[in-house]
Structure 1
């Protein structure tokens, strides 16, 4: 019980770091510099605020490092529940981290020339990583059943479906992908709820 409590709190801290770095990199640092309909404005913004853009790259790398650590912590926490599923969840989360880490090269390339094509490739690569994360999330929903509140497990299952559908439509039906963007609120709610449960309530579980 004590080992589970310690691991849960550490996992919650790692999750908090991942959420903060992810939102900070995309919405706080990189997003305001990108005008998808205006290549020249984007090029000028990146040139004028290159340190902020490079900081967003560092945040992406930090997020990948924390994801690797979280994958291992979750495996240690949940392997007693189901060793095979726990191993699969760790592998799929590590795959996502590998894709995200490799994908930052697209951001470096965006600083060298016309940025929008490279930024579009980065966005597509991010969705590719989320396809692996979708499988991880669905497995986690199953592993946490009986440990976390049932509604969190259902929310994680729904989040996994949103991630999977979003990643697939990104490559095969871009118009559908554009219409489903509001659905990503579901994964935000699910992951923030899981993070808070790990940090606050999970240590009280029997």
Structure 2
């Protein structure tokens, strides 16, 4: 009677999508491409597809404009949903990039960005509701306002994320400290806008834009220098 032979366990094979095994160069390239794509999608989708069709205080006009250009509006909404998914990809990539600095803090930061992405996706759901309520213009405009307020408030969470990433960047040694400082400034701006919006929906959202230069500069660093980081 032959004995039962149990084959030895094989080591788990990690595929290219396993961000835990990404090198810092790969993480930089993925995050750089992801951030550039997010910027392009937000410009085309939100500023090109949503903003031109919405008139503050004019529910009937807004409903008429959206009804007249449904493909433009829904295309803008689709772009925003893709951005929320890319947020998760970038969160994973930046975890891989900064985990050599502080693995635990990088993980905390990554989860904060994932939670923000989920809230942003929920906020975008209000735009879908607005489209379905075009026959009731007041409710449709209210849904669009709910999207704006929920998005702006959730950006406070994104601001906290940038503060953590800014700290990690300053401590990293492989990224110039100025990038970490610029990211932290952007984070403070988002937090300020979120707090202001939470207390008043008419709050002028201006502080978050202060970090635009830093965020763009980091994208160029990721794509040019960061992708050359050694394993």
The residue aligned with 1:29 is 49
TM-score, length-scaled by structure 2: 0.82
Are residue 61 (structure 1) and residue 81 (structure 2) matched? yes
How many angstroms apart in 1 are the aligned matches of 2:69 and 2:145? 19
The structure with higher relative contact order (CA 8 Å, sep 6+) is 1
Which of 43, 60, 83 is equivalent to 2:103?
83
- CA drift of 1:129 comes to 2.1
Contact map agreement 1:5 1:202 (CA 8 A) in 2: yes
Counterpart secondary structure, 1:144: helix
Larger radius of gyration: 2
Are residue 140 (structure 1) and residue 165 (structure 2) matched? yes
How many angstroms apart in 1 are the aligned matches of 2:40 and 2:157? 21
Contact map agreement 2:159 2:191 (CA 8 A) in 1: yes
Structure 2: tracts of 5 or more residues without a match: 1-21
The residue aligned with 2:17 is none
Which of 110, 114, 118 is equivalent to 1:98?
118
The residue aligned with 2:223 is 199
The residue aligned with 1:42 is 62
How many angstroms apart in 2 are the aligned matches of 1:182 and 1:108? 27
TM-score, length-scaled by structure 1: 0.92
Contact map agreement 1:95 1:129 (CA 8 A) in 2: no
Which of 142, 146, 158 is equivalent to 1:121?
146
How many angstroms apart in 2 are the aligned matches of 1:51 and 1:174? 29
The residue aligned with 1:151 is 178
Contact map agreement 1:155 1:186 (CA 8 A) in 2: no
Are residue 183 (structure 1) and residue 207 (structure 2) matched? yes
Structure 1: tracts of 5 or more residues without a match: none
Structure with a larger share of its residues in helix? 1
How many pairs does the alignment contain?
Answer: 202
How many angstroms apart in 1 are the aligned matches of 2:32 and 2:100? 19
Are residue 14 (structure 1) and residue 38 (structure 2) matched? no
Counterpart secondary structure, 1:37: coil
Contact map agreement 1:46 1:53 (CA 8 A) in 2: yes
Q: CA RMSD in A?
A: 1.6
How many angstroms apart in 1 are the aligned matches of 2:175 and 2:160? 19
